[in-house]
Amino acid sequence: MTGPLRERERAHALLAAEAERARAGGGRFVLLRGATGTGRSAMLEAAVAHAAGRGLRVLRARCSPEDTAAPFSCVLQLLGPVPESADPTPGPDERGSADRLWRVLRAYAERSPVLVAVDDIHLADESSRRWFVEAARRVDRLPVLVVATERSQYDIDQRPAGLTHTLSPSLVRTHTLAPLTDTAAAHLVRTAFPAAPDDWTADCVRAGAGNPLLLHALLDDLRDTPPPAPVPRTCAALYPGSYPAAVSWWLDTTGPATAETARTLATLERADRDRPGAPPRTAAASLAATAALLADATGADPARVAGWLTAMTRLGLLRTDARGRPRYAHPLLRDAVLAGWPAARRRAAHLAVAEAMLRRGDRVDGVARQLLGSGPAGPPWVLRVLRDAVAAAVREGRPDDAVGYLRRALAEPLPDDLRQRLLTELGSLEYAFADAPAGIPRLTEALDLPAGPRDRVRTALALGTALTGRGEVRAAVEVLHALEDRLTGHPDLLGTVRTASALLSDQDQTVRREAYRRLTDTARRSPELVGATGQALLVRYAATAGASSARAAMARLRALLTEPAEPFAEPFLLGTTAAVAQWADELDEAERLVERGLAGQRPSLLHPMQRALHNVRLDITAARGEYARLLTDLGPPAPTGGPAPTGGPTPAGGPTNADAHTLLALVETGRTAQARQLAARFDLRDAPDSWELNRFLYARGILRLSEGDTAGALHDFLECGRRQSARTVLSPVVTPWRTAAARCRLALGNPREAVALAEEELRLARVWDTPRTVGRALRVLARATGGRPGLDLAEEAVALLRGSPADAELIAALLTRGRLLSAGGDRSRARESLREAAERAERLGAVRLRSRAEEALRAGGARRTATAHTGAASLTGSERRIAELAATGRSNTEIADLLHVARRTVETHLTSTYRKLGIRRRGELGEALRGEA
pLDDT in tens, 852-867: 999 999 887 766 455 5
Give the pLDDT of residue 742: 96
C-alpha closest to that of 624 among 571, 678, 653, 661? 661
The average pLDDT across 638-646 equals: 44
pTM here is 0.78
Q: Which residues pair with 146 in a beta bridge?
A: 29, 116
C-alpha closest to that of 610 among 456, 471, 431? 431
> Does 216 score more than 50 pLDDT?
yes
Confidence at 647, pLDDT banded by 50, 70, 90: very low
Give the pLDDT of residue 461: 95
Give the pLDDT of residue 83: 46
Q: Which residues pair with 320 in a beta bridge?
A: 326
- Kindly report, residue by residue over 653-698, the tens digit of the pLDDT: 689 999 999 999 999 988 999 999 999 999 888 888 889 999 999 9
CB contact set of 851 (below 8 Å; sequence gap of 6+): 670
Give the pLDDT of residue 85: 41
Distances (CA, A) of 524 to 491, 496, 542, 892: 16, 17, 14, 45
> Does 576 score more than 90 pLDDT?
yes
Confidence at 652, pLDDT banded by 50, 70, 90: low
Give buried/exposed letters for 404-443 (b at 16+ CB in 10 A, else e).
Answer: bbbbbbbbbeeeeebbbbbbbbbbbbbbbbbebeebbebb
Asked if 270 contacts 304 with a C-beta cutoff of 8 angstroms, the reply is no
C-alpha closest to that of 71 among 51, 97, 96? 97
- Identity of the amino acid at 42: A
Q: How far is the C-alpha of 658 from the C-alpha of 662, rounded, in Å? A: 6
Label each residue of 534-574 as H, E or C.
HHHHHHHHHHHCCCCCHHHHHHHHHHHHCCCCCCCCHHHHH
C-alpha closest to that of 713 among 662, 765, 748? 748
Give the pLDDT of residue 547: 95
Torsion of CA 792, 794, 800, 802, to 10 degrees: -130
DSSP assignment of 738-781: HHHHHHHHHHTT-HHHHHHHHHHHHHHHHHH--HHHHHHHHHHH
Distances (CA, A) of 20 to 23, 27, 141, 764, 881: 5, 10, 15, 112, 94
Distance of CA 53 to the CA centre of its chain: 64
The average pLDDT across 40-54 equals: 95
Q: How far is the C-alpha of 746 from the C-alpha of 772, rounded, in Å? A: 22
CB contact set of 907 (below 8 Å; sequence gap of 6+): 892
> Does 757 score more than 90 pLDDT?
yes
Q: Where are the alpha helices (DSSP H) in 82-154?
A: 94-111, 126-138
Give the pLDDT of residue 278: 55
- Identity of the amino acid at 533: T
The average pLDDT across 545-557 equals: 96
> Does 117 score more than 50 pLDDT?
yes
The average pLDDT across 286-297 equals: 93
CB contact set of 228 (below 8 Å; sequence gap of 6+): 197, 200
Chain-wide mean pLDDT for the chain? 89
CB contact set of 756 (below 8 Å; sequence gap of 6+): none
The average pLDDT across 170-199 equals: 94
